[in-house]
Structures are given as C-alpha cells and as structure tokens.
Structure 1
Amino acid sequence: MDSKLSFFVEKQYEGHKIKDYLKGVQGFSTRFVRGAAFDNRLFVNGEIVRLSYKLKHGDKIEIEVTKNESQNVEPEKMDIDVVYEDVDVIVVNKSPGMVVHPTKSYQSGTLSNGLIYYFREKGENCIVRLVNRLDMDTSGLVLIAKNQFSHMALARDMIKESFKKEYIAIVHGCLKPESGTIDKPIYREEGGSLKRTIDDRGQKSITHYEVIEKYEGGEMVRLALETGRTHQIRVHLSSMGNPIYGDSLYGIEEKEYINRQALHAYRLQFPHPRTGKIIDIETELPNDMKELVSKLKK
C-alpha cells in the first residue's frame, strides 16, 4: 500500500472547502485534517494547499500519512508474535505476563518497548498507537495503528458491528443460562484500588457470552464485548458466580491450575482503515490454558 491517501473529487463537491470535504465526506477528524495541513502533507494535483482551498471537479486530493514522530518509549529487543501487518496496522498475539505500555511500575519489558524496537529494525518511523488494550495477565490479540490516520479511523469504527473483540475464558461452575447477555454497570472503587465492582454509579457495560465446552469443574466460554470497560469480562463473570480460573482479583489464586486468569483475546475483526475490507484474525489458545483444560478433563 502507498503511504498516501488519495481521492478524486466528484462534481457534486465542486466549490466545497477541502477541510469540509475531508471531515464531512471522508469522515476524518478535525485534528487529523489540521495536522496534515500544518505539516504540509495535504496536496491537490501535486501541490500543497491550505484548508481553505475550494475544490474543483476532478481534483486529486492526496494526504501523506507518514511523518516524523517520536515517543518516550525505549526500544527493547524481544520476541513479538506478529500475526498481521501492513503499512497502516499491526496485530500481535500478546503473551501473558506482559504489560502493553510503560507505567510507573513497569518502565520496561512492555509490548510497546518491543514494538518500538521492531519498527526501528524495519526502518519504520512509527510510534505505538494502541487501539485496544489487554490486562497484563490476559493473553491474545492487540491491534496497533501505525499512523495517525489509521488510529483515527479505527477509533471511529469501533462502534460498528463489523468491529468485533472476542475472548475465550475458562470459568468455575456452570453459567445459567448457557448463553446470554450480561448488562451490568461497572464502577471503580474509590481509594485508588484496581478493583471494579457492579454498581449503579458505574458505566454501562455489556458482555455477550456462550458456553462452548463443559468440564467436571467448570466451562469454557466464548465472550464478545459490546463495551470495553477495564476488567469488564472478569467483573461480569465473577458477578454471575462464575469467576475465571486463576483470577486472584475477582476469584482466587489457583497456581495448581494456572498462574494467571484464564482469559485469552482469541479473535479480532475490524474494517481496514484504508480499504474498508474486513480483516478477521483468530489465534489458538495459549499453552497454559490448554494445560488447564487437560487438568479439568482429568
């Protein structure tokens, strides 16, 4: 794919200001449009133009999406499981025990540190723009935008039905009914606690679920998020009386079974920011969750 976006102006938009066309017709954010003009990355028929430029029928608009950027994240060499990549996006399969972005407690060893190294090794001047995040001990697919345009487009499209985030969890007990929707508000407890609770003061939170396999001591459940609250799946399942195996925050620590919560972001589907083509990616369960299933089957 080219690093430039390009459009030909149709007759009905002749006389419109380019800024109105880019925002109203192409759906670009004000921030993206202004940034492209400010950085001299906005062209019509090969010439740099201002946002006040009035369009003519047949004009070729081009926007250069790549630009020089920096981020206060140290590059670190590490194994990264890249499952999809092009000029606009990259999807990685995150291992459990890895934080996605540096924090006060985790200054290094994060997925972002590894990605910055990966980009620099390839000669790409990208920064890490996370489209979705996973808890440190949740494994699975993380989507990263490689430029401002793709981050804007993906953030805009997250409300579309074609954007899906699906998970596999292994839980205690038996969910009743075996499929359904959990619609309970999630609230962050005061005092700086990481823990979330079900509380009417919280944000609306919706999780769809379906039991896909039964064991003597629990079930494997497929879940789809309609909203994306912190710890949403963990809080919702715990509230049903079915905490995830190994979830020490919302259940109990169970090192004899697994060393973290048995939760994996196994599927990610999204419309490509440039083409609109549906990208649908799935990964298999990680080894520690496969081992947990084997233990429960015994």
Structure 2
Amino acid sequence: MTETFTITTEQGRIDKVITAHEPTHTRSQVQKWLQEGLVTVNDRLVKANYKVESGDVIVVTIPEAQPLKAVAEPIPLDIVYEDDQVIVVNKAQGMVVHPAPGHPDGTLVNGLLYHTDLPGINGVVRPGLVHRIDKDTSGLLMVAKTEKAQLSLSAQLKAKTTIREYLALVHGTFKEDEGTIDAPLGRDPRDRKRQAVVADGRHAVTHFQVLERFAHYTLIKCVLETGRTHQIRVHMAYIHHPVAGDPLYGPKHTLPGNGQFLHAAKLGFVHPTTGKLLTFTVPVPEVFKKTLADLRAGIDKTRNVR
C-alpha cells in the first residue's frame, strides 16, 4: 500500500508530519520505514530529521502486514456492544491492550482473537485496534472487525469527532470548576519510559470539569481533544494535580488501589456502515467505587504505596 500527499505549508520533521497526517502510524513505525527506505520526498530518500517544506511530495510505501504473532486465548472479556463491524469492550484494570515485550500473552488482543477475526493494522500486532488505553486504566475501547470499520474509526479519531470522556480522581483541590490544558507532549528527555510536556512535542489538549471535591482529592471528568500516550496522566501532573495512585507520574504518598484512578467512562462514534451515532457508558471499577465511597464518608486511606 502506498500513501502520497503534498505539503502546502512547512510542518517540521518528516516523522512528525507523517504521524500527524495519519494517526494510525506511530512515530517509531515511521522512523523504521524511513530507515528501510520506504519514504521519499520529491523522489529522494530522506532521514527522520528531514524538515518538510511547502510543496514537498511525500510518498510512504507501507509494507505488507506480517503474520500475526499474537495467539488466540480464551480470556473473559466484558463486551458492551458487538455487531459485524465493531466491538466495544470494557477493559479491565490491569489488562494490557496488545502484546509487547514483557507482555506476549494474556492481553486484550489475545482474548479478542479467540472471540472473533480481526483485521491487521499496518503490519503490527494490534489487530482491529484504532486506539488504546494504559494497562492500569480501565474502561471503554472501540475495536474494528473489518478493514472498512478500521478506516472509518481511524478517520473519526483523526477528525476529533469521537466522544472520549474519562473519570479521574486526582490529588489536590481546584478553585476553578473547569479548564483546558493545552501543552505539547513527547518523550521525557530524562527518562524514555515517560512522557512529558516538551516544546517540540505533539499537540495535546485535555478539557476537564470538576465533579466532586474532597478534603485532599478531586473527582474530575476529562474530555480528550487529542489522544497522546499517557495524555491525561501527564497533563494532570503538569498542573500539579497528578492522578491518584499513578505509579509513574504521581507521588508515592497516595491512595492505594490497582494503579491510577483513571477510567474511560464514555465512548461515542459514528457507526461505519449505518452512520448512526453510538454512545456507551460504563461505571468505574469496584476499587474506584469503594475509594469514592470512603472519601465521601470522610475516610482517607492515603499512604505510601511504593
């Protein structure tokens, strides 16, 4: 498969330009294609640090999908909705979405492959997935069952027309009732396992609304305008309200649980074939529910959790 597009205004590094043009391609994936000579600009091979200029014609040759390495496993799944085009899953907290080094099996993808047939995406082992949520984040994911559905859902994500609302329990109290965090995200130059707000990062916007205030914590709703890696977790830490229980971006002295108190509570998208808007909501996991009940009763179990 070949993609060709012309740049009308200068947009920076070519790897960033390509991923901005097609969000289903990851930066690391594009950089690999650049190294393999699968990307040209004006019929010339370029490196990942090439600065795209107005009028450049970029051609990306996407390699054929490799045989899927993930194996089907009979893993129980909480399927909220399914038809011949899409599946909506309520992912359990603690479940990895797709196979990766250190997590070759037991993932959502392994369970989905046992449940149904899924299309591959750009040759990587993320069949049917057009977005993801972190291992210790619970909640709703949409999964494509056909190539048509995959293209439609990916296009909706790119156009920012999907509905993605999260519930987060965060440290501290807010004077304001709502706000917007507009801060670019990229790899933390001091720790490659983390994301951070960086000047040359990818555009990232999170809207938040206060739902309930407690003595030392706040329950908020977060609405994603973009979908960057760890976006809510990094943005909330950036404004000094890290997500409670977050082992990567939060303090050690926090609420005990199964990782961060972050839940993808609402998901909406236009169905790929019917054109109907579908919306789904799921309640928070039991540990999240119990913690909120404790806070409402004035019980704060904050302690060192690591």
**Corresponding residue for residue 82 of structure 1:** 79
- Decide whether aligned partners of structure 1 residues 74 and 255 sit closer, same or farther in structure 2, where only a CA change above 3 A counts: farther
The gaps in structure 2 that reach 5 residues or longer are 1-21, 23-65, 121-126, 299-306
**Corresponding residue for residue 163 of structure 2:** 164
Q: 1:90 deviation in Å?
A: 0.2
Runs of 4+ in 1 over 3 A off after TM superposition: 124-127, 159-162, 253-256
Q: Aligned partners of 2:168, 2:258: CA distance in 1, in Å? A: 14
- Decide whether aligned partners of structure 1 residues 255 and 177 sit closer, same or farther in structure 2, where only a CA change above 3 A counts: closer
- Decide whether aligned partners of structure 1 residues 115 and 260 sit closer, same or farther in structure 2, where only a CA change above 3 A counts: same
- Decide whether aligned partners of structure 1 residues 103 and 277 sit closer, same or farther in structure 2, where only a CA change above 3 A counts: same
Q: 1:196 deviation in Å?
A: 1.2
**Corresponding residue for residue 32 of structure 1:** none
Residue 188 of structure 1 aligns to a residue whose secondary structure is strand
Q: 1:192 deviation in Å?
A: 6.3
The residue correspondences of 1:139-288 to structure 2 (distance < 5 A) are 139-160=138-159, 162-190=161-189, 193-253=192-252, 257-288=256-287
The gaps in structure 1 that reach 5 residues or longer are 1-28, 30-68
Q: Percent identity?
A: 39
Q: Aligned partners of 1:70, 1:199: CA distance in 2, in Å? A: 36
Q: Aligned partners of 2:169, 2:254: CA distance in 1, in Å? A: 15
The residue correspondences of 1:17-36 to structure 2 (distance < 5 A) are none
The amino acid across from 2:247 in the alignment is S
| Superposition RMSD in Å | 2.0
Is the Cα contact below 8 Å between 2:118 and 2:128 reproduced in 1? no
- Equivalent pairs, count: 227
Q: 1:191 deviation in Å?
A: 6.6
Is the Cα contact below 8 Å between 2:206 and 2:224 reproduced in 1? yes
Q: Aligned partners of 1:175, 1:202: CA distance in 2, in Å? A: 27
Is the Cα contact below 8 Å between 1:90 and 1:145 reproduced in 2? yes
**TM-score normalised according to structure 2 size:** 0.70
Q: 1:259 deviation in Å?
A: 2.6
The amino acid across from 2:81 in the alignment is Y
Greater mean alpha carbon deviation, residues 72-81 or residues 264-273: 72-81
**TM-score normalised according to structure 1 size:** 0.72
- Decide whether aligned partners of structure 1 residues 192 and 256 sit closer, same or farther in structure 2, where only a CA change above 3 A counts: closer
Deviations 1:244-285 (A, max 9, x none): 110011112457531310000010000001111000000011
Q: 1:161 deviation in Å?
A: 5.5
Alignment of 1:294 with 2:293, yes or no, is: yes
- Decide whether aligned partners of structure 1 residues 254 and 75 sit closer, same or farther in structure 2, where only a CA change above 3 A counts: farther
Deviations 1:172-224 (A, max 9, x none): 11134220110011121247622111121211110010001111221110011
Q: Aligned partners of 1:167, 1:75: CA distance in 2, in Å? A: 29
Is the Cα contact below 8 Å between 1:186 and 1:197 reproduced in 2? yes
Is the Cα contact below 8 Å between 2:118 and 2:146 reproduced in 1? no
The residue correspondences of 1:19-168 to structure 2 (distance < 5 A) are 71-119=68-116, 124=117, 128-160=127-159, 162-168=161-167
The amino acid across from 2:106 in the alignment is G
Greater mean alpha carbon deviation, residues 254-263 or residues 271-280: 254-263
Q: Aligned partners of 1:226, 1:148: CA distance in 2, in Å? A: 25
Is the Cα contact below 8 Å between 1:131 and 1:143 reproduced in 2? yes
Q: Aligned partners of 1:89, 1:111: CA distance in 2, in Å? A: 15
**Corresponding residue for residue 21 of structure 1:** none
Greater mean alpha carbon deviation, residues 212-221 or residues 188-197: 188-197
Q: 1:126 deviation in Å?
A: 5.6
Is the Cα contact below 8 Å between 1:162 and 1:278 reproduced in 2? no
Q: Aligned partners of 2:211, 2:292: CA distance in 1, in Å? A: 13
The amino acid across from 1:181 in the alignment is T
The amino acid across from 2:223 in the alignment is A
Is the Cα contact below 8 Å between 2:172 and 2:241 reproduced in 1? yes
Residue 252 of structure 1 aligns to a residue whose secondary structure is coil
Q: Aligned partners of 2:102, 2:179: CA distance in 1, in Å? A: 37
Q: Aligned partners of 2:281, 2:292: CA distance in 1, in Å? A: 19
Q: Aligned partners of 1:271, 1:295: CA distance in 2, in Å? A: 38
Q: Aligned partners of 2:234, 2:118: CA distance in 1, in Å? A: 38
Is the Cα contact below 8 Å between 1:245 and 1:254 reproduced in 2? no
